[in-house]
Amino acid sequence: MILGKGENLLTLSADPNAIAKLDPLFIRLTVDMAHKHGPGQDEALTYEFKKCGAVYLNLRDFDRPFRKELQKEPDTINVRIGKHVWITFFKPEDKEVVLARDTPLPLAGAPPFPGFKEDGYILIGYSPPPPTGDQKKDLYLFVLWMTKFTVTDKGP
């Protein structure tokens, strides 16, 4: 259990609303197959979950949307909340990615990752293959597959 600053179990035990003050440690999400390979063909997926500090994103053997086109499996996850973006890298063979305080790295001046307290987007990414031999690569293109998440118990 995660307790807010200044709270302890003794004071919470006498509080009828105590359960609302205990934030869940993590949420487990399973990526759904919603990519239909064509412009405007993707379903508009929205994950809905309670405010939490971390998400365990289970990739299973989902449709890996651009596997055929890119000859590659996903290896990055971006999280966008408001105007800030964080990124984390993983091995393409991994089936589960942990999005927690220390795993997503801030991009473009974002603060440290705050956890899932506001609505945002999860983007599953396919980074370019590394250059081979003497080949120099100046262009870094990330293909992203995006879905929205909604936090259901945001504060007033």
Rounded CA-CA distance 148/156 in Å is: 21
Query: What is the domain range of residue 59?
Result: 24-151
Query: Is residue 7 assigned to a domain?
Result: no
Query: Is residue 49 assigned to a domain?
Result: yes
Query: Residues 85-123, buried b or exposed e (16+ Cβ, 10 A)?
Result: bbbbebeeeeeebbbbeebbeeeeebeebebbeebbbbb
Name the domain count of the chain: 1
Using the predicted structure, report yes or no on whether residue 91 has a pLDDT greater than 80.
yes
- 3-class DSSP state of 16: coil
Q: CA separation (Å) from 132 to 7, 64, 87, 108?
A: 55, 24, 24, 28
pLDDT tens digits, residue range 27-84?
888 887 766 656 666 667 788 988 998 999 888 766 666 677 777 778 889 999 999 9
Query: Is residue 74 assigned to a domain?
Result: yes
Per-residue pLDDT band at 18 (split at 50, 70, 90): low
Evaluate whether 116 touches 144 at the Cβ level (below 8 Å).
no
Evaluate whether 30 touches 2 at the Cβ level (below 8 Å).
no
Query: Is residue 52 assigned to a domain?
Result: yes
Half-sphere exposure of 97 (CA within 13 A, CB side): 24
Query: Is residue 102 assigned to a domain?
Result: yes
Rounded CA-CA distance 113/135 in Å is: 35
pLDDT tens digits, residue range 111-137?
999 999 999 999 888 877 666 777 666
Evaluate whether 121 touches 146 at the Cβ level (below 8 Å).
yes
Query: Is residue 83 assigned to a domain?
Result: yes
Q: CA separation (Å) from 152 to 9, 22, 38, 47, 121?
A: 25, 15, 31, 10, 14
Query: Is residue 8 assigned to a domain?
Result: no
Query: Is residue 5 assigned to a domain?
Result: no
